[in-house]
Structures are given as C-alpha cells and as structure tokens.
C-alpha cells in the first residue's frame, strides 16, 4: 500500500472498517459499482496476503475486462477478500490494515484515506464479534472483549473520522451497524445487547454535538439472525440450568403457514429460547471449515473468574460466501438507500426479523417493545409522579 498525492475524486469516498466481512464486502462492492471510492479496512494478515497476490494479479491485467464481468456474479465468489474488491474497483479501492480496537490504527487508516482520496464522506463502522452465552456462562473477559470490539472500537473510529470531517468543514455521514438487540432483550445475548445499547446511546448524544458541522449519524439495526450468522461467534461451555429453571424455553411458536422444513435459524426471533439459539450456533460453527478467526490469549492463572479455562476462539458460522451475501442483502439495500443523504434517519431498522414476506418483522418487534414500555409507564404513572417535588417547595428553596 503506497499512499499517493490527494486529487479530486468522483463520487463518494467510503471508509469501511471491515471490508472482508459479508456486510462490509457487499457494501464496498456496491459502492465501487456505483463509481465511488472505497478505503477497505482489513486485518493485517489479510493485507499482507493481498500484497503478496498483487504481483500475480498483474499478469492478468490484459484480461481485466473479462475479470470484472466474472466478479459481478455472486455465485462466482468463493471467498470474501480485498483482492476481489481491488480487481473490481482498481485505483478506486484502497485496502488498509485496520484494527478499530487501536486508536493509532484508526488514525493511520484515515491518514491513508485522506492522502489518497482527499477526504472521507461516509464511514461505515461494521466491525463486529458476538460473545454468546447466558450471563453465568460468560467470564469478565467476554464482557470486556465484547465492549472492546463493539463499543470502544466504534468509539475509536468515529472519534477519528469526526475530527477530520470537522477540520475539512465538508461534513459527512457516519453509519454504525448494531443489531435489533439494541432494541430488544434476547436470552444469551446480554453482553451484545448491552454493547449495542451503549453504541446507540453514544451515537444519539453525539448527533446533537456534531449537527452544526453538517455531520450526520445513523444507527443501522439488521436482524439478529443476520448479525450473528455473518460475524465471528464465540460460545463458552454451556452451564447446566438449575432444575426447574424456565429460562430455556422451547422453539418459538410458529403459525400454520410456516414451512415445517425450514431451518431453525430462519425463525430466529428476539424471544427465541437461549438453548435453541445455542444449538443452532453450535451446529454452524462446528462444521468442518469453520476457521478460528481470532484466537484469544490463554486465561491468566491469576484470574479470579469462576469459569473453567477454555480456548478463547472466535469462529465464523460455516456457511457459503453466497449464503453470507444473501443474508446481508436486505441490510445492504437499506444502507445504500440512506448513505450520504442530507437528512438521513438517526436509526433505521432492517425488516424481516421473523422471516415474513412483508419484511416488517424487525419493525414489528420494536413496535411491540415500545408498546410494552408505554403500557408499563401508564401502569405505574401514579407511582412515578408521586416522586415529584411540589412546586411550593421549589419556590421556597428559590427564595432562600
């Protein structure tokens, strides 16, 4: 990767934090097709592999047109890597090693982006891991790591890009991908839910701070199924439930119209039992070919954690690249529809959480959640209002 002198570029300039994830890859590919420029974040290992393959790719330069046509077909993509993106976008695609957990890495990636393309118009923060398990199954390491990746990683890249957008004075659009877990509680996903609530609260407040600089922020909430199946997952050993404990409910209710032959994960809802979700994840991560993507450090002998030692390994659910791209198709459509808009939504939900044909499953889940909160407020309204300080007391204190 050699930075070049900045020059005016056509279209938008994207910075995508994880361009080799199914969602990041799909967005990068669509942006390049639209004539935009993409700074494609990837791991250091992926960046080295890309550089090593560049020499071989140069031999196929004469066949470049044919290669582009072939790469436009989803069924021809066997793996998601930055080499495909650079062959598709040419000089409009710049792979950069990027770890959002390190602020210096974020700053370096931004420097390459500005040096090469002159600016960043759209940031897509989509780096993600899922640490799945009931709270009693997860160690303090899981909780901290979930927040390091999902919250502090997002904080690092957003803070870095906002500074540049403010100094340039051109504004921009920052999009942070969370999930529907930010709106609903899901058994087994308490750590992820907490991290996504933190991200969305941070973005909601930040939006007011940067609005005068024409910087817009959007939280994107794909379905929980899409989020989990297209990102690395870690499953700690399952703790046996207490006798008679009802938290592991059976399979979510299904209507008569449901196809009995459908896979369980196609009916994953926020109300689905923790055990059913765990079984599904164990199935798709245990298949041959599920490679460990991020081995963790060995557990410290001095740890006071009561959980037994085990390898800290993240795995991608082992499904085909084509299936990964299909799972994120709805999210890609939504992101591309609002990216760079002058007045984008502060939060947008990707429908289809329940696999329904109307595509309103995610939206409906949030509506039901809001209805439940509203009803609870009304039920305890008198109790809540009784805590108000009488105006007479306030006036008396003011006079003193």
Residue 394, pLDDT > 60, answer: no
- Mean pLDDT across 360-372: 74
For the ranges 99-108, 122-131, 344-353, the lowest mean pLDDT is seen at 344-353
Residue 313, pLDDT > 80, answer: no
Residue 248, pLDDT > 90, answer: no
Q: Determine if residue 217 is left, alpha or beta; phi over 0 gives left, psi from -120 to 50 gives alpha, anything else beta.
A: beta
Residue 66, pLDDT > 70, answer: no
Q: Which residues pair with 38 in a beta bridge?
A: 14, 93
Q: 322 or 369: whose pLDDT is higher?
A: 322
Q: Which residues pair with 173 in a beta bridge?
A: 122, 216
Instruction: Dump pLDDT digits (tens) for 190-206.
Output: 999 999 999 999 999 99
- pLDDT for the residue numbered 53: 80
Q: From the CB of residue 26, how many other CB atoms can be counted at a distance below 10 Å?
A: 25
- Cβ pair 218, 348 in contact under 8 A: yes
- Mean pLDDT across 86-100: 94
- Mean pLDDT across 316-320: 80
As a whole number of angstroms, the distance between CA 46 and CA 97 comes to: 8
Structure tokens at 184: 């609903």
Rounded-to-10 torsion of CA 182, 184, 190, 195? 10
244 pLDDT band, cuts 50/70/90, is: very low
Residue 391, pLDDT > 70, answer: no
Any idea what DSSP says for residue 315? B
Interacting residues of 106 by C-beta distance below 8 A, sequence separation 6+: 98, 100, 156, 157, 160, 161
275 pLDDT band, cuts 50/70/90, is: confident
- pLDDT for the residue numbered 183: 85
Q: What CATH number should be reported for the domain whose range is 13-359? A: 3.40.50.720
8 pLDDT band, cuts 50/70/90, is: low
5 pLDDT band, cuts 50/70/90, is: very low
Would you call 60 helix, strand, or coil by DSSP?
coil
Interacting residues of 189 by C-beta distance below 8 A, sequence separation 6+: 130, 132, 181, 224
As a whole number of angstroms, the distance between CA 232 and CA 230 comes to: 7
Q: pTM score, two decimals?
A: 0.78
Instruction: Locate the domains of the chain by residue range.
Output: 13-359, 368-400
- pLDDT for the residue numbered 49: 86
Residue 4, pLDDT > 60, answer: no
CA 388-392-398 angle, to 5 degrees, is 100
As a whole number of angstroms, the distance between CA 219 and CA 154 comes to: 12
């Amino acid at each position: 990767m050699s930075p070049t002198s900045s020059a005016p570029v056509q279209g938008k300039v994207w910075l995508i934090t994880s361009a080799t994830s199914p969602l990041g890859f799909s967005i990068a590919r669509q942006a390049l097709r639209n004539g935009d420029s993409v700074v494609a974040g990837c791991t250091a290992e992926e960046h080295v592999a890309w550089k090593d393959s560049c020499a071989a790719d140069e031999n196929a330069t004469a066949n470049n047109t044919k290669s582009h046509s072939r790469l436009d077909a989803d069924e021809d993509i066997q793996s998601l890597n930055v080499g495909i993106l650079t062959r598709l976008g040419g000089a409009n695609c710049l792979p950069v090693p990027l770890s959002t957990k390190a602020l210096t890495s974020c700053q370096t990636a931004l420097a390459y982006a500005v040096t090469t393309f002159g600016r960043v118009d759209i940031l897509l923060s989509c780096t993600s891991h899922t640490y799945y398990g009931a709270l009693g199954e997860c160690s303090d390491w899981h909780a901290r790591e979930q927040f390091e990746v999902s919250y502090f990683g997002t904080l690092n890249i957003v803070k870095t890009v906002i500074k540049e957008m403010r100094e340039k004075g051109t504004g921009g659009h920052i999009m942070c991908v969370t999930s529907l877990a930010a709106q609903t509680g899901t058994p087994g996903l308490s750590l992820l839910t907490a991290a996504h609530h933190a991200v969305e609260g941070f973005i909601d407040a930040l939006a007011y701070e940067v609005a005068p600089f024409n910087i817009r922020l959007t939280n994107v909430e794909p379905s929980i199924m899409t989020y989990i199946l297209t990102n690395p997952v870690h499953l700690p050993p399952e703790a046996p439930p207490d006798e008679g404990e009802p938290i592991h409910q059976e399979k979510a209710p299904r209507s008569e119209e449901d196809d009995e032959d459908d896979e369980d994960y196609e009916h994953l809802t926020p109300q689905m039992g923790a055990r059913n979700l765990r079984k599904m994840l164990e199935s798709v991560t245990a298949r041959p070919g599920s490679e460990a993507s991020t081995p963790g450090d060995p557990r410290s002998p001095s740890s006071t954690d009561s959980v037994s030692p085990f390898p800290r390994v993240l795995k991608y659910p082992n499904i085909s690249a084509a299936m990964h791209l299909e799972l994120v198709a709805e999210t890609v459509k939504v992101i591309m529809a609002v990216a760079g808009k002058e007045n984008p939504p502060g939060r947008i939900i990707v429908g289809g959480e329940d696999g329904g044909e109307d595509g309103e499953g995610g939206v409906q889940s949030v509506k039901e959640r809001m209805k439940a909160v509203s009803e609870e407020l009304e039920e305890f309204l008198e109790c809540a209002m009784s805590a108000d300080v009488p105006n007479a007391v306030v006036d008396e204190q003011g006079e003193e």
